[in-house]
Amino acid sequence: MVSKRLWWAMLVGCWWMGAGLMHAQAPATVPIRPDYILGPNDQILVRVPQAEELNERPFRVDAEGFLTLPIVGRLRVAGLTVQAVEIELANRLKEFIREPQVSINLVQFRSDPVFVVGAFRTPGIYPLQGRRTLVELLSSVGGLQPNANRRIRVTRRLDQGKIDLPTAVENTDRKVSTVEISLESLTQEINPAEDIVLAPYDIISAERAERIYVTGEVAKGGAIEVGERDSVSIAQVLAESGGLTPFAKRDKVRVLRPVLGTSRRAEITVDAKRIFEGRDLDFPLLANDVVFIPRSGIRAVLQPLSVSLLNSLPFLIPTILVTRTN
């Protein structure tokens, strides 16, 4: 499996090659995912080390969705993934070649592509056929994953025109324009202008949601999404966790914070009791902080003791009665 970092590097390389690929003298290839679905007018390069006649030139999928290849003849590929076509070609070549090794690369898209990356249900490279808006694309890829950030970023090359939104930011060094759009704003049509028309080679990306984790003596521990909030505090996350239990040690709340560039966490002790009483300022949290509320030492002793006493009551009562009778 291609690592995320390598995939991004390949994607950026492909992005800047742009439409000039179709005019290249040598068949420069485009990095594609194995789940890319082939269609009419896709142009591919087939690599089979044991069959030179297949390696000589690129082949185009015809209007009916077929490839015509030396040795194997005509093969229907439209609607199949690149990986599925590689397997089918290998099976057909087994009649002529022992253990054929088949790989397929894309030389030219059937239309200009857009790139969907990050926390989407089906990320990948999608053909931009005709006029297509952001909402239409999001619908076709199945939307965001449940743990995705609710903001979508669109990055566009400046040679494809500017993103016509007042919140778009241009980077002349990178020669791109970028805008972030709220999913809520899109789906509820709060600002219809944000459903922008996509341009060739746009990158549509979404990151995983930033979270803060709460555990220990709270009513309901777990992950709390930061969402679009500028900041989140100790008091806020404890309230969203249902509040502290009676056994919480309020003056010794621990915040475990990731140390940048390492796998370690720094421990910060926060006096939540003083915060609740208004004697200290609230403590700001960062994404990926872990908030741990320990149990009070006295309460920790009393709770199992009280449970033990309650469990023994049915036995103590008959004993007392017998003693009184005697």
> Domains of the chain (ranges plus CATH)?
4-108 (3.30.1950.10), 113-206 (3.10.560.10), 211-295 (3.10.560.10)
Write out pLDDT tens, residues 77-110: 988 888 999 999 999 999 998 889 999 988 877 7
Backbone dihedral angles phi then psi of residue 79, each to the nearest 5 degrees: 90, -5
Return the C-alpha torsion angle 170, 172, 173, 177, nearest 10. 30
Mean pLDDT of the residues in the chain: 81
More confident residue, 313 or 255: 255
How far is residue 319 CA from its own chain's centroid? Answer: 64
| pTM: predicted TM-score of the whole model, two decimal places | 0.50
Give the Cα-Cα-Cα angle 30, 35, 36 (nearest 5 degrees): 45
Residue 90 region by backbone torsions, left for phi larger than 0, else alpha for psi between -120 and 50, else beta:
alpha
In the chain, % of residues over pLDDT 90:
41
Write out pLDDT tens, residues 106-162: 887 777 789 999 989 999 888 876 688 999 999 989 998 887 888 899 999 998 888
pLDDT interval class at 13 (50, 70, 90): low
